[in-house]
């Protein structure tokens, strides 16, 4: 009967929702245990000076090396970390690892890190990051912090004050994924960004879609007038790279230069390019 069918269908949806909830709960439990075990690790995506082809640094992208499920994408675990309040600890754990890694690289190389909007609600965020920099000995002027525009909605004055403190330390601030979501030109006035990152969706379609190309050109010009550097995200082929070079976009990153690399793979790339000092020289302080 229809009534019976309806009830069955109802049960079936309940079962799916129950399963999803269980999966999520067990992921959450595994994440909580995984943070102190060092299962969340930095991967590195190369950033390139488009005019010279030189490697300028890396964007750190977090990965979860789960014992039970293998390598897990941030698209899956970052939202869970944000909802459960784990994001702060998780982020500090991967930031510490990446500062410790990058401190041994050539001093010309910068590192960009992503900070969640939730973290910009923590009044102690700047102090926590500065403490990590001091403890690891990584210079603040080689660090760039990427935030998205959604960071500015919840508590703009707190975000402004945190970002002011970070900038006072010499840390640079980039606006990530610009042109998507809730983009507003007013945001470019609300905070003194050092860099705008043009969202991958415009870059990917630049060769096929004249509107995308016009938008990339306009953002590049805007950056120039506002004194903000520009990075194009999501470059996947040579033709896109050369189009961006023609437009005058200064920096780029994307799969054309390789997928995000583990620390071992990153060291291999750096060694090949002579960007890894052969030997760590310890500073010896002579007692007076």
- Residues of this chain that interact with ligand C2E (CB under 6 A) are 45, 61-62, 73-75, 78, 91, 94, 114-116, 146, 176-177, 200, 233-236, 254-255, 260
Coil, helix or strand for 174?
strand
Q: Which is nearer to ligand C2E, 143 or 235 (CB)?
A: 235
Q: Which is nearer to ligand C2E, 165 or 180 (CB)?
A: 180
| Residue 44 beta carbon to ligand C2E: minimum distance, rounded to whole angstroms | 10
| Residue 97 beta carbon to Mg ion: minimum distance, rounded to whole angstroms | 17
Coil, helix or strand for 73?
coil
How far apart CA 252 and CA 234 sit, in angstroms, is: 8
Q: Which is nearer to ligand C2E, 22 or 150 (CB)?
A: 150
Please give the C-alpha separations between residue 12 and each of 1, 2, 3, 9, 24, in angstroms, as whole numbers.
Answer: 16, 15, 14, 5, 19
Please give the C-alpha separations between residue 95 and each of 109, 129, 203, 233, 248, in angstroms, as whole numbers.
Answer: 16, 8, 28, 21, 32
Q: Using CB under 5 A, which of the segments 62-70, 171-179, 209-217, 241-249 binds Mg ion?
A: 171-179
Q: Using CB under 5 A, which of the segments 43-51, 70-78, 152-160, 176-184 binds Mg ion?
A: 176-184
Q: Using CB under 5 A, which of the segments 6-14, 48-56, 174-182, 185-193 binds Mg ion?
A: 174-182
Residue 163 has φ and ψ, to the nearest 5°, of -70, -35
Residue 146 binding Mg ion, by CB under 5 A: yes
| Residue 174 beta carbon to ligand C2E: minimum distance, rounded to whole angstroms | 10
| Residue 280 beta carbon to ligand C2E: minimum distance, rounded to whole angstroms | 26
Q: Which of residues 76-115 bind Mg ion (CB under 5 A)?
A: 114
Q: Which is nearer to Mg ion, 109 or 276 (CB)?
A: 109
Quick one: what does residue 144 bind among Mg ion, ligand C2E, none, with the CB cut-off 5 to 8 Å set by partner type?
Answer: none
On whether the CB atoms of residues 26 and 32 are closer than 8 A, the answer is no
Between helix 87-102 and helix 125-136 the angle, nearest 10°, is: 30
How far apart CA 126 and CA 119 sit, in angstroms, is: 10
Dig out the tokens for 175 from the structure: 């606006």
Residue 144 binding Mg ion, by CB under 5 A: no
Dig out the tokens for 133 from the structure: 């920099």
On whether the CB atoms of residues 211 and 231 are closer than 8 A, the answer is no
| Residue 197 beta carbon to ligand C2E: minimum distance, rounded to whole angstroms | 7
Q: Which is nearer to ligand C2E, 25 or 73 (CB)?
A: 73
Q: Which is nearer to ligand C2E, 16 or 207 (CB)?
A: 207
Taking residue 253's Cβ as centre, other Cβ atoms within 10 Å add up to 25
Cα distance between the two ends of the chain: 94
Q: Which is nearer to Mg ion, 233 or 241 (CB)?
A: 233
Q: Which residues bind Mg ion (CB under 5 A)?
A: 114, 146, 176-177, 233
């Amino acid at each position: 009967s229809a009534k019976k069918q309806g009830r069955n269908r109802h049960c079936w949806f309940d079962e799916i929702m129950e399963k999803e909830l269980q999966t999520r709960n067990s992921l959450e439990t595994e994440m909580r245990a995984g943070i102190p075990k060092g299962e969340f690790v930095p991967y590195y995506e190369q950033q390139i000076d488009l005019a010279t082809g030189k490697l300028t640094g890396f964007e750190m992208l977090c990965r979860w090396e789960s014992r039970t499920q293998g390598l897990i994408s941030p698209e899956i675990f970052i939202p869970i970390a944000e909802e459960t309040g784990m994001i702060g600890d998780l982020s500090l754990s991967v930031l510490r690892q990446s500062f410790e890694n990058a401190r041994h690289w050539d001093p010309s190389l910068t590192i960009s890190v992503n900070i969640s909007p939730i973290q910009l609600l923590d009044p102690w965020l700047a102090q926590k990051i500065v403490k990590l920099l001091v403890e690891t000995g990584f210079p603040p002027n080689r660090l760039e912090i990427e935030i998205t525009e959604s960071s500015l909605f919840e508590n703009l004055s707190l975000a402004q004050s945190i970002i002011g403190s970070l900038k006072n330390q010499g840390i640079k601030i980039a606006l990530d994924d610009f042109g998507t979501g809730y983009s507003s030109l007013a945001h470019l006035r609300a905070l003194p960004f050092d860099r705008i990152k043009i969202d991958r969706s415009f870059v990917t379609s630049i060769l096929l879609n004249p509107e995308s190309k016009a938008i990339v050109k306009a953002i590049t010009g805007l950056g120039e007038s506002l004194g903000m550097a520009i990075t194009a995200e999501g470059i996947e082929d040579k033709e896109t790279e050369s189009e961006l070079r023609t437009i005058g976009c200064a920096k780029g990153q994307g799969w054309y230069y390789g997928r995000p690399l583990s620390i071992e793979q990153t060291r291999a790339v750096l060694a090949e390019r002579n960007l890894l000092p052969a030997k760590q020289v310890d500073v010896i302080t002579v007692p007076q």
